[in-house]
Chains A and B, each alone.
Chain A
Amino acid sequence: MNSRIGGIDAAGNYPQHWRRPPFISSPWLRYGLACGAVLYLIVGIGSVEINWTRVWDGLPRGWAFVYGFLAPDFFSRGEDIRAGILESLTMTLTSTVVGILISVPIGVGAARNLAPPLVYGVCRSIIAISRSFQEVIIAILFVAMVGFGPLAGFLTLAFATIGFLSKLLAEDIEEIEESQAEAIRATGAGWLQLVNYAIQPQVMPRLIGLSLYRLDINFRESAVIGIVGAGGIGATLNTAIDRYEFDSAAAILIIIIAIVLVAEYSSGVIRKWVQ
């Protein structure tokens, strides 16, 4: 659109063509960003070193992987896959349950409208610490502490759940309908009764939804932390890929995708049922 009011130019003529308004209105910012982006692309792509002969050598392996997806091998490593998936599933469930149990009080403490400033500060810092690091890094530390195996994975996932769930729960509590809380307060309710009768019914459906979502995330993460020795299907997957057994790897990936699909579908059903 022309910047002059009414679109009339200096000679008094009406514009004959419409031009769509640009996404970023300031031209300096628009062209500056574009130049910066082009410059970055040149420098960035230039700094990526690619070993083309190695890529060329790897292409058959790429095909082997695609072929593995078409003809996955569920059986030759069947026992390992079964044990790994079982470990992943049990880790996921226990860590999610424990994570929720810990994150509910922390979430209540991190809600500005419920907690005194000191508690608020402490709970918010716990959330910040838990959210800042990748699960894999936390898993490395827990493996160093309690040794290899699913216990380290359980601790990792429970710790990561706290940051995720407490933060979203706290935000939810801060956004509740205040009039309901006031109505309960007017009956002379104490703090616990306030939480139980005014807050809990309002946030419960969303808390259940978030918990199911986190269950889903924890399962996906449980497939990863096995790479650093924290139990679950990741270790089996890592071995399969290291040995170039792409048909077994593809089988594991297909199982993961299928479980995520089932989890997503059933969490949709449960959420509908709760509301």
Chain B
Amino acid sequence: MPEAAISIRNLSKTYPTPFRRLRAFFRRPVKEPVEALRDVSFDVREGEIFGLIGRNGAGKTTLTKIVATLVQPTTGSVSVRGNDSVLHDEQVRRQIGLATAEERSFYWRLTAEQNLMFFARLHGLSDRTAKQRMSELFAKLELEEVARRRFGEMSTGNKQRLAVARAMLSNPPVLLLDEPTRSLDPLAAARMRALISSLAQQDPPVTILLTSHNLAEVETLCERVAIISRGRIRALDTPQHLRSLTSKSEQVHLTVSGLNGSHESERISFTRESHDSRLDEMLRDLQKRGARILDVEVERGSLLDVLELYESKGETQ
């Protein structure tokens, strides 16, 4: 059993109302404290790509920021490779890189290179090592052409790739990626997914906690996925198992020609239970009747269906 790279235990976070008593004393409106996370527990294994999905305001960002030591939990604990995020926050930050889609996190009047050099120095890298690492990352993320361009003059996609480059600057064993392909064109997004996938397979592997609204991306990349809704983890499993939670059946559509000597192509649809023998039987029968199979389409339940299921459950609770 691989060791946990990120271990989250009974984590709760409630944002208190600042100066509640003072506001009440001056008869100013007092907002209620906001419960962002409640009793969240899970582990992310070394070298795993772990997906976290949920609607806006579900608690994904708070969870990521607690792991990144930017926010302290109300109760519970988070440890990254054995280091507690509150007690040993500096050691935790040495082990992680966070890439968000937040454009304001860079200095707009500095170039991409100058920005990365600043953060490399804060990580304690020597200028020589930093330059070498930056050139590797610029090549890997196809940023060489814009390396000397001011951040403010870069396209949104390049800004996002630079955020990923910054997260990888110190070669951290754990990466927290918040919607890493949100602003990328389809080709660049595919390359980013390939990069993420390769990071988890390299030696030593990088552990990745990925939050995304692109469910297809999560399904493709992640070994396990957690569904978070209203601050609680509602389900956690492999994408395949999660999909089977909504429906165990799937629709199969076959396009065939030459059936019973006919030259016309025909579409045959049927429902089957996952992994039953109906598809096999149907294919044998069609071949016996001289049919040529032109196309096969399978409609399965998606993570979207699972997300909708838990959201609707949450609303009725």
Q: Do A and B bind each other?
A: no
- Mark A residues whose CB is within 8 Å of B: none
- Mark B residues whose CB is within 8 Å of A: none
